[in-house]
Amino acid sequence: MAAKRKTPVKTRNPDLIRGVGKYSRSKMYHKRGLWAIKAKNGGVFPRHDPQPKVPAAAEKRPKFYPADDVKKPLLNKRKPKPTKLRASITPGTVLILLAGRFMGKRVVFLKQLNSGLLLVTGPFKINGVPLRRVNQSYVIATSTKTDISGVNVDKFDDRYFTKEVVKKKKKGEGEFFEAEKEDKKKLPEDKKEDQKAVDASLVKSIEGVPDLKAYLAARFSLKSGMKPHELVF
Amino acid sequence: MPFKRYVEIGRVALVNYGKDYGKLVVIVDVVDQNRALVDAPDMVRSQMNFKRLTLTDIKIDINRVPKKKTLIDAMEKADVKNKWENSSWGRKLIVQKRRALLNDFGRFKLMLAKIKKAGIVRQELAKLKKETAA
Secondary structure of chain B as H, E, C letters = CCCCCCCCCCEEEEECCCCCCCCEEEEEEECCCCEEEEECCCCCCEEEEHHHEEEEEEECCCCCCCCHHHHHHHHHHHCHHHHHHHCHHHHHHHHHHHHHCCCHHHHHHHHHHHHHHHHHHHHHHHHHHHHHHC
Q: What single-letter amino acid sits at A229? A: H
Q: In the prediction, which pLDDT does A189 show?
A: 85
Residues of A in contact with B112 (CB under 8 A): 211, 214
Q: In the prediction, which pLDDT does A3 show?
A: 59
pLDDT, averaged across chain A: 86
State which residue of chain A sits closest to B108, comparing Cα positions: A215
State yes or no: pLDDT of B105 exceeds 80. Answer: yes
Q: In the prediction, which pLDDT does A186 show?
A: 76
Q: In the prediction, which pLDDT does A53 show?
A: 81
Taking the CA of residue A72 and the nearest CA in chain B, the distance in Å comes to 55
State yes or no: pLDDT of A128 exceeds 90. Answer: yes
Q: In the prediction, which pLDDT does A182 show?
A: 56
Mean pLDDT within A178-202: 77
Taking the CA of residue B38 and the nearest CA in chain A, the distance in Å comes to 30
Contact B59, B5 (CB under 8 A): no
- Contacts across the A-B interface (CB distance below 8 Å): 33
Cross-chain Cβ contact B104/A144 below 8 Å: yes
Least reliable range by pLDDT among A43-47, A171-175, A210-214: A171-175
Q: In the prediction, which pLDDT does B44 show?
A: 94
Residues of B in contact with A220 (CB under 8 A): 104
Tens of pLDDT, residue by residue over A69-122, are 888 888 888 888 888 999 999 999 999 999 999 999 999 999 999 889 999 998
Taking the CA of residue A230 and the nearest CA in chain B, the distance in Å comes to 8
Best B97, B98, B99, B108 member to test A by mutation, with max A CBs in 10 Å, is: B108
Chain B residues within 8 A (CB-CB) of chain A? 100-105, 108-109, 112
Mean pLDDT within B35-59: 95
Write down the pTM of the prediction: 0.71
Q: In the prediction, which pLDDT does A174 show?
A: 54
pLDDT, averaged across chain B: 94
Cross-chain Cβ contact A232/B112 below 8 Å: no
Q: In the prediction, which pLDDT does A171 show?
A: 62
Tens of pLDDT, residue by residue over A152-172, are 888 888 888 888 777 776 665
State yes or no: pLDDT of A176 exceeds 70. Answer: no
Strand partners, A121: A108
Q: In the prediction, which pLDDT does A68 show?
A: 86
Q: In the prediction, which pLDDT does A183 show?
A: 57
Q: In the prediction, which pLDDT does A112 show?
A: 93
State yes or no: pLDDT of A184 exceeds 80. Answer: no
Compare B134 and A219 and report the one with higher pLDDT. Answer: A219
Cross-chain Cβ contact A214/B112 below 8 Å: yes
State yes or no: pLDDT of A8 exceeds 80. Answer: no
State yes or no: pLDDT of B55 exceeds 80. Answer: yes
